[in-house]
């Protein structure tokens, strides 16, 4: 009987630890990739039917734009035309979040790059570096770039802000983010007193860049 009680306590303790570990994932961004993806699915289940309206904002005219996820090709067509001149799109969603696929971007004459980052998660340093370098390449080729995630307030804002850090030596994380947020009002990185994983991801990139 005593052994059964001890076994029950041990099992309960282990399950409690696992539950606490799972619950901290969206707050800390610490955990295996599958846990981040699982949280995205759970949150989206509760928000089923909550389709983000198509919104976009100019971060730097003729250079950089940030938007929510485009739902149809018609969303992007006006951005390809002047004065915006968007010629490239960087998608930071998981595949299942996307409404448009590569051939639809290509049909509009757009270069397209996909970097998979789970919703509510922070891009890794490698993902940020990859995204910034790709934007640099497109801009050098004369193409303005549209960066998007789901709502255009987290993942895409990290990459857009990181690009400004790399492009303008006078910016630090705060001033670069303020530049983006003044144009994209839904941008939200500094919540929770600056402890949000996406804000920490940007700070990590800035430290790496300054090495």
Question: Are residues 92 and 193 located together in one domain of the fold?
Answer: yes
Question: Are residues 103 and 205 located together in one domain of the fold?
Answer: yes
Residue 131 has what pLDDT? 99
Is 211 exposed, middle or buried, given 0-12, 13-18 or 19+ CB atoms closer than 10 A? exposed
Question: Are residues 39 and 109 located together in one domain of the fold?
Answer: no
Question: Are residues 107 and 195 located together in one domain of the fold?
Answer: yes
How far apart are the C-alpha atoms of 120 and 54, rounded to whole Å? 19
Residue 6 has what pLDDT? 63
Higher pLDDT, residue 18 or 199: 199
Question: Are residues 92 and 163 located together in one domain of the fold?
Answer: yes
How far apart are the C-alpha atoms of 47 and 45, rounded to whole Å? 5
Question: Are residues 41 and 67 located together in one domain of the fold?
Answer: no
Question: Are residues 39 and 60 located together in one domain of the fold?
Answer: no
Q: Residue 128 CB: number of other CB atoms within 10 A?
A: 27
| Six token digits for residue 92 | 């930071």
pTM attached to this predicted model = 0.78
How far apart are the C-alpha atoms of 205 and 182, rounded to whole Å? 21
pLDDT in tens, 25-47: 555 555 566 566 555 555 555 55
| pLDDT above 90 coverage of the chain, percent | 62
Residue 46 has what pLDDT? 56
Q: Is 114 helix (H, G, I), strand (E, B) or coil?
A: strand
Question: Are residues 33 and 60 located together in one domain of the fold?
Answer: no
Question: Are residues 172 and 71 located together in one domain of the fold?
Answer: yes
Question: Are residues 178 and 157 located together in one domain of the fold?
Answer: yes
Number of domains within the chain: 2
> Rounded mean pLDDT of 144-168?
96
Question: Are residues 31 and 123 located together in one domain of the fold?
Answer: no
Question: Are residues 138 and 186 located together in one domain of the fold?
Answer: yes
Confidence check: pLDDT of 62 > 70:
yes
Residue 33 has what pLDDT? 61
| Six token digits for residue 140 | 């050098």
| pLDDT above 70 coverage of the chain, percent | 73
Beta bridge partners of 111: 88
How far apart are the C-alpha atoms of 210 and 97, rounded to whole Å? 34
CATH of residue 177's domain is: 3.90.190.10
Domain that holds residue 62: 56-210
Residue 190 has what pLDDT? 77
């Amino acid at each position: 009987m005593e052994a059964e009680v001890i076994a029950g306590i041990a099992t309960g303790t282990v399950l409690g630890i696992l539950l606490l570990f799972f619950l901290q994932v969206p707050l800390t961004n610490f955990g295996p990739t599958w846990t981040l993806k699982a949280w995205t699915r759970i949150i989206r289940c509760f928000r089923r039917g909550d389709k983000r309206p198509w919104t976009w904002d100019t971060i730097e005219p003729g250079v950089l734009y940030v938007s929510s996820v485009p739902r149809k090709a018609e969303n992007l067509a006006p951005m390809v035309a002047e004065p915006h001149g968007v010629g490239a799109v960087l998608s930071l969603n998981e595949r299942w979040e996307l409404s448009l696929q590569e051939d639809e971007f290509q049909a509009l004459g757009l270069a397209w790059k996909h970097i998979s980052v789970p919703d509510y998660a922070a891009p890794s340093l490698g993902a940020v570096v990859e995204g910034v370098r790709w934007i640099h390449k497109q801009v050098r080729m004369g193409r303005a770039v549209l960066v998007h995630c789901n709502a255009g307030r987290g993942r895409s804002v990290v990459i857009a802000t990181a690009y400004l850090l790399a492009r303008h030596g006078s910016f630090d994380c705060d001033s670069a983010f303020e530049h983006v947020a003044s144009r994209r009002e839904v941008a939200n990185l500094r919540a929770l007193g600056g402890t949000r994983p996406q804000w920490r991801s940007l700070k990590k990139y800035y430290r790496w860049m300054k090495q």
